[in-house]
């Protein structure tokens, strides 16, 4: 069997970082199946467009004929499934696409993967992997002194986004349990780094701080997230793909809990330093706005299983990762201009309307 990996959603934030890392380090060939929603951007992958080991296919994971054709034509040894609607605020304003892609789309992909896998000869059949990329949000919200989420924490999704990811996790689990599909699921905490669409906290704050615009902090700004540099997440996924045990789930996190307000203040200070002081320190742009409905208070991941069993550890510190990220957004004006055009402006105008 050829060393080919089918990646879904590879034009998005984490998927494109994963593809660049994999092509840079390994010898695998990659098929990137992406619908190119507002969050997908081929500019992220322009350095590998001519790479013979890389093929881009524009399409929907829910298009079963297309997915079937890809399996038959390219005979992948694994699927790494990133494709999703990923923004919590959008899921609150309009959950339909979240059901369509995250639940129906994952189901379609699982069905086609199962049909393909069932016909594989050994040892390809046992070696096949369906790696489902999921989130810590499926576990719900923690109180200030609760222990971090572990792989055995009960699911308690609170937003339509989290509910759709939880549903997809359950389907993956069921396909392993019922049909024996060699599946693994990763549940990761908040990522940050280059190529993240600036609807999410960190890039939104960097660009607004650069432009002297208000920095909208939801509620009291005391919500806590566990932040992980995107390249560390990609390395964790590669470790699970290489050595993860079929049927297992692995929690991934940075062991790096931060309050939103602290992150926004730090971003202001870094932008002041890198872009030069504006008339007033950028911290003065911080504006507390109406809270996100159902806003989860705290996430924290216990990543001891992947550390112990697969030897993965995050490399980047939050201080250095955040500085790199701020610099990247300030230095990549073309990328920023590309993604902050019409549809982006409409989202910002609607979502942050007073
Ligand atoms: P993203 O929104 O940046 O990218 C999603 C990609 O999926 C885009 O390229 C989009 O075009 C593509 N896509 C959407 N619907 C599709 C469809 N129907 N068919 C094919 N492609 C489709 O998302 P991200 O932040 O890179 O997240 C990737 C995955 O990781 C998601 O499954 C998400 O739930 C999970 N995750 C994200 C984070 C995070 O902090 N961003 C943390 C943990 C887990
Ligand atoms: O935890 C993993 C999840 O992290 C992923 O599964 C999701 O795909 C990803 O979007 C992210 O979800 P969050 O809701 O945690 O990320 P977001 O960047 O949207 O928000 C981070 C925190 O910042 C959250 O507490 C809400 C707050 N926030 C966000 C925005 C966009 C603000 O205060 N103001 C804002 O304008």
What pLDDT is recorded for position 278?
A: 79
Short-list 173, 139, 182, CA closest to 157: 139
Quote the ligand 1 centre to 135 CA distance (angstroms). 11
Contact 169, 155 (CB under 8 A): yes
What pLDDT is recorded for position 277?
A: 82
What pLDDT digit, counting tens, does each position of 19-57 carry? 999 999 988 999 999 999 999 999 999 999 999 999 999
Contact 202, 263 (CB under 8 A): yes
- Choosing from 60, 85, 112, 137, the catalytic residue is 137
Pocket test for ligand 1, best of 10, 11, 13 (most atoms within 8 A of CB): 13
Known active-site residue 136: yes
Residue 209 lies in a domain: no
Residue 159 structure tokens = 């937003």
2/4 Cα distance (integer angstroms): 6
Give the number of other Cβ atoms within 10 Å of residue 156's Cβ: 13
Residue 284 lies in a domain: no
What pLDDT digit, counting tens, does each position of 186-219 carry? 999 999 999 999 999 999 999 999 999 999 999 9
169/166 Cα distance (integer angstroms): 5
In which domain, by residue range, is 67 found?
4-193+229-253
Pocket test for ligand 2, best of 190, 300, 303 (most atoms within 8 A of CB): 190
Give the number of other Cβ atoms within 10 Å of residue 33's Cβ: 26
Contact 76, 6 (CB under 8 A): yes
CATH number of the domain where residue 240 is located = 3.40.50.720
Residue 108 lies in a domain: yes
The mean per-residue pLDDT over the stretch 225-251 comes to 98
Residue 203 lies in a domain: no
Atom 23 in ligand 2: which residue has the minimum CA distance?
201
Tally of structural domains, the chain: 1
Short-list 66, 65, 76, 61, CA closest to 31: 76
Q: If you write DSSP's letter for every residue of 162-214 in order, what string do you get?
A: HHHHHHHHHHHHHHHHHH---EEEEEE-EEESTT--TTSHHHHHHHHHHHT--
Residue 165 lies in a domain: yes
> What does DSSP say about strands 29-34 and 54-58: parallel, antiparallel, or unpaired?
parallel
Measured between alpha carbons, how far is residue 193 from residues 13, 151, 221, 353 in Å? 8, 25, 21, 27
The proportion of the chain whose per-residue pLDDT surpasses 70, expressed as a percent, equals 100
Residue 122 lies in a domain: yes
pLDDT at residue 307 greater than cutoff 80: yes
Quote the ligand 2 centre to 230 CA distance (angstroms). 15
Which pTM value belongs to this model? 0.98
pLDDT band at 137 (very low <50, low <70, confident <90, very high): very high
6/75 Cα distance (integer angstroms): 9
Residues at CB less than 6 angstroms from ligand 2: 86-88, 135-137, 189-190, 200-201, 204, 216-218, 223, 225, 260, 292, 299
Known active-site residue 161: yes
Short-list 217, 184, 180, CA closest to 202: 217
């Amino acid at each position: 069997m050829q060393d080919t990996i089918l990646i879904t959603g590879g034009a998005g934030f984490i998927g494109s970082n994963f593809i660049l890392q994999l092509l840079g380090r390994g010898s695998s060939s990659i098929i990137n199946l992406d619908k190119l929603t507002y969050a997908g951007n081929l500019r992220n992958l322009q350095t590998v467009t001519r790479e013979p080991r890389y093929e881009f296919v524009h399409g929907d994971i829910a298009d079963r004929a297309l997915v079937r054709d890809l399996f038959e034509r390219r005979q992948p040894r694994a699927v790494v499934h990133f494709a999703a609607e990923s923004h919590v605020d959008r899921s609150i304003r309009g959950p339909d696409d979240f059901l369509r892609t995250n639940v129906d789309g994952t189901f379609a992909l699982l069905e086609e993967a199962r049909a393909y896998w069932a016909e594989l000869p050994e040892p390809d059949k046992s070696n096949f992997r369906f790696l489902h990329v999921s989130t810590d949000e499926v576990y719900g919200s923690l109180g200030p002194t609760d222990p971090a989420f572990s792989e055995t924490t009960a699911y308690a999704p609170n937003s339509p986004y989290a509910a759709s990811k939880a549903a997809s996790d359950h389907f993956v689990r069921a396909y392993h349990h019922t049909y024996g599909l060699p599946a693994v699921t990763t549940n990761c905490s908040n990522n940050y780094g280059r190529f993240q669409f600036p609807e999410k906290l960190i890039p939104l704050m960097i660009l607004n701080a650069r432009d002297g615009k208000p920095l909208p902090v939801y509620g009291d700004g005391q919500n806590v997230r566990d932040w992980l540099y995107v390249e560390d997440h990609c390395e964790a996924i590669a470790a699970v793909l290489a050595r993860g045990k079929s049927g297992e789930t692995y929690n991934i996190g940075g062991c790096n809990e931060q309050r939103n307000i602290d992150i926004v203040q730090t971003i202001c200070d870094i932008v002041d330093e890198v872009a030069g002081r504006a008339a007033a320190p950028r911290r003065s742009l911080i504006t507390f706005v109406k809270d996100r409905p159902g806003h989860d208070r705290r996430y924290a991941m216990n990543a001891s299983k992947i550390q112990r069993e697969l030897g993965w550890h995050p490399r980047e510190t939050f201080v250095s990762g955040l500085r790199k990220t701020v610099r990247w957004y300030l230095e990549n004006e073309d990328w920023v201009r590309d993604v902050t055009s019409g549809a982006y402006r409409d989202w910002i105008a609607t979502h942050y309307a007073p």
